[in-house]
Structure 1
Amino acid sequence: MLIRPLAALSGAILGISALLLPAAAAQAVDHPHRPLTVAHRGASAYAPENTLAAVDAADELGIRWVENDVQRTKDGELVIVHDTTLARTTDVEQVFPDRAPWKIADFTLEEIRQLDAGSWFGARFAGERVPTLEEYLERVSDNHQNLLMEIKAPELYPGIESETLRVLRSEGWLNRHHVKHRLIIQSFSANSVRTVHALRPDVKTGFLGTPAVADLPTYAAFTDQINPSYRTISADYVDAVHQLEGAHGRRLEVFTWTVNDATNAVTVARMGVDGIITNTPDVVRDAVDEDARRDEAAGALASR
């Protein structure tokens, strides 16, 4: 599958450069208006979300970070799906018509493996499957990508934090290099993020949401990122987050979501966010890079 060849080439060059930089440098590259670009559920504008095809689509665009969602099946296996039901992104209603409301927790992995998770998005993705966490990690590793992992609806899956960490460990994702450079775990549940931090204090974590500024110090005790919707933030809010140190003693970061157009990408980049989570990572990356280049060129002219 070929996606925007010129964007893929330039993205690959940027991705290689990011791999050669330390983690802190890779966050901002060489300009404060170049936040990290994260492919939301993979490059989900170009391939069915949370599938291996979406991981590969991000890789073709040269995007080094992908985001995904982890949930648990009836028989205790971890799978990569966003919704708590299978109805929107698979053909479960046709395969199992009498099993409404088709909750993930009501299906075994063997049953979920029978579902088509690609045809809803496009005929060329027919037969794409719901990946297990192990399969997803293997593909991300094969592509030399990094992972922003969301523990989805943890209140439905008691103990999913320790189970997720167990799989990460067995797949080699909790060694020193991965923990330091390639992995972030996030959730909308503060309790879930707090649990991950307690179980593995070395792992970088993020809280999904927009806490009140007065409450930020409470979150900073157990997380490294505050990750809000782009519709809820301002430059002042980003600055307030940045004034605090996170759980690892470094500046608390902001990864915002879900930005899919050039205008909003530039707007949030200029607010100072550290990362942008997007379905269209090529659009966001290219817009942010172009804006930073214009800013650098203007600065060079002013200094002459």
Structure 2
Amino acid sequence: MRFTVLTEPDGRRSARRAGAVVAVLSGLALALTTTTAHAAPGDPDVIAHRGSSGMAPENTAAAIDLAVRQHADFVEIDVQQTKDGKLVNFHDCTMERTTNIEDLYPGRPRYRVSDFTWKELQRLDAGTWFHKKYAGEPLITLDDVIHRIDRTRTGLLAEISPCSHYTDIATDLADHLTTKPAYLNRALTRHQLAVQSFQPDDAHAFHTRLPAIPIGILDADRPTDTELQQLSTWADQINPQHTVTDQTLVDRIHQLGMNINVWTVDEPGAIRTMTNLGVDGIITDYPQTLTQP
């Protein structure tokens, strides 16, 4: 995947902003900029990929709660939107792999999150595929995730879904977060909130709406230096696959004033390698590998 880097704001997406929330966020923006760049070397943030997804069904309450108990610094989730506008935590562009949706709703032309209402999706079993002890584990909303981590030591790294049928999900996510000023204030003050995307245009749209929230760019490939320089004018994080990450890339990202979180790092040897490179965060299915002695 190659970046399409934006250098100018998208005027169509920079419309309304909730005044009271923006005042709070703007007041925090200056303080946050001082923590965006890499500071002293140390242990990387432990970021639980879809929750503690190596031990519980991904993106469910069970996986989120387990990550919190394992003392993850962040949970990484995936934001999609239902037919009736509810923001939910789900990764795949269709739901057959991790739910019983085909059994409950046979004959539907598509099985995307956006093809169903939240009421319909609440009936799904999102746990049995992982293990029978999680039978009946439901899907959860973004609000459910926030409720479970708010006022804990665990922050939130929310990924804007790259599924191509979404057009305004980045700004819908931003607008929804502005309805939660108390949570935003707490999370930003404690440096416990960031958003990331594989799509630079979605990341830029979100950043335009809520610039105080750190924004990251995901990539499975190694970004070029030209891309890094352009992204550094507005992005806070570059989050590549760990297999394309080396010391030169880590140092260059830090030199440009951005942080680097690598994914998805599960093998102990790879974890040691990434830690020794000085990455800022490790996204892993097994957060306990890094948090437990």
Q: TM-score, normalised by structure 1?
A: 0.79
Q: Secondary structure at the match of 1:266?
A: helix
Q: Which residue of 1 aligns with 2:22?
A: none
**Equivalent of 1:262, from 249, 268, 276?**
268
Structure 2 counterpart of 1:279: 285
Confirm or deny that 1:176 pairs with 2:175. Answer: no
Q: Specify whether residues 173 and 131 from structure 1 end up closer, same or farther in structure 2 by C-alpha distance, changes over 3 A only.
A: farther
Matched ranges for 1:56-75 at <5 A: 56-75=65-84
Matches within 5 A, 1:179-194: 179-180=188-189, 181-194=191-204
Per-residue Cα deviation, 1:21-49 (whole angstroms, up to 9, x for no partner): x98889989x7251111000000011110
Once the two structures are TM-superposed, the CA of residue 177 in structure 1 deviates from its matched residue by 3.5
Residue 250 of structure 2 contacts residue 278 of structure 2 at CA under 8 Å; is this kept in 1? yes
RMSD: 2.3
Aligned with 2:276: secondary structure?
helix
- Listed as ranges, the gaps of 5+ residues in structure 2 are 1-30
Is the contact between residue 241 and residue 254 of structure 1 (CA under 8 Å) also seen in structure 2?
Answer: yes
- CA 1:135–1:196: 2 relative to 1, 3 Å: same
Q: Which deviations, in whole Å up to 9, do the C-alpha atoms of 1:226-263 show, x marking residues without a partner?
A: 0000011111111111110xxxxxx2110000000211
| Aligned 8 A contact 2:236 2:258 in 1 | yes
Change (3 A) 1:225 1:240: same
* Percent identical residues: 36
Of the two structures, which has the highest relative contact order with CA contacts closer than 8 Å and spacing of 6 or more?
A: 2
Aligned to 1:6: none
In 2, Cα distance between the equivalents of 1:25 and 1:198?
Answer: 19
Letter in 2 for 1:182: Q
Taking a change above 3 Å as real, the CA distance of residues 272 and 67 of structure 1, as seen in their structure-2 partners, is same
Q: Residue 170 of structure 1: SS of its match in structure 2?
A: coil
Q: What is the CA deviation profile of residues 70-102 of structure 1, one whole-angstrom value per residue up to 9, with x for unaligned ones?
A: 011112211110001111111111111211541
Q: How does 1:191-230 map to 2 (within 5 A)?
A: 191-209=201-219, 210-230=222-242
Q: Structure 1 residue 285: deviation in Å?
A: 3.9
Change in Cα spacing, 1:143 to 1:55, as seen in structure 2 (3 Å) is: farther
1:243 aligns with 2:255: yes
Q: CA deviation at 1:53?
A: 0.7
Indicate if the aligned counterparts of 1:257 and 1:276 stay in contact, CA closer than 8 A.
yes
Q: Which moved more, 1:274-283 or 1:119-128?
A: 119-128
Shift of 1:104: 1.3
- Give the structure 1 partner of residue 17 of structure 2: none
CA distance in structure 1 between the partners assigned to 2:200 and 2:214 by the alignment: 14
Task: Measure, in 2, the Cα distance between the counterparts of 1:77 and 1:102.
Answer: 16
SS in 2 for 1:98: coil
Q: 1:79 to 1:275 in 2, by over 3 A?
A: same
1:285–1:213 CA distance, 2 compared to 1 (3 A): farther
Deviation at 1:204, TM superposition (A): 0.5
Q: Quickly say closer, same or farther: Cα 1:117–1:64, change in 2 above 3 A.
A: same
Supply the AA of the counterpart residue of 2:261: F
**CA shift for structure 1 position 194:** 0.6
How far is the alpha carbon of 1:182 from its aligned partner? Answer: 1.1
Of stretches 148-157 and 68-77 in structure 1, the one that deviates more from structure 2 is 148-157
Partner of residue 166, structure 1: 175
Q: Name the aligned partner's letter for residue 241 of structure 2.
A: S
Distance 1:231 1:188, change over 3 A: same
> Which 10-residue stretch deviates more, 165-174 or 138-147?
165-174
- Relative distance call for 1:37 and 1:27 in structure 2 (3 A) is farther
- Counterpart of 2:246, as a letter, is S
Task: Supply the distance in 1 between the matched residues of 2:162 and 2:36 (Cα, whole angstroms).
Answer: 30
Q: Would the alpha carbon gap of residues 265 and 28 (structure 1) be closer, same or farther in structure 2, given more than 3 Å must change?
A: farther
**Secondary structure of the residue that 2:150 maps to in structure 1?**
helix
Q: Which has the higher helix share?
A: 1
> Secondary structure of the residue that 2:56 maps to in structure 1?
coil
What is the number of equivalent residue pairs in this alignment? 259
Q: Does the 8 Å CA contact 2:51/2:76 hold for their aligned counterparts?
A: yes
Matched, 1:157 2:169: no
Match of 1:50 in 2: 59
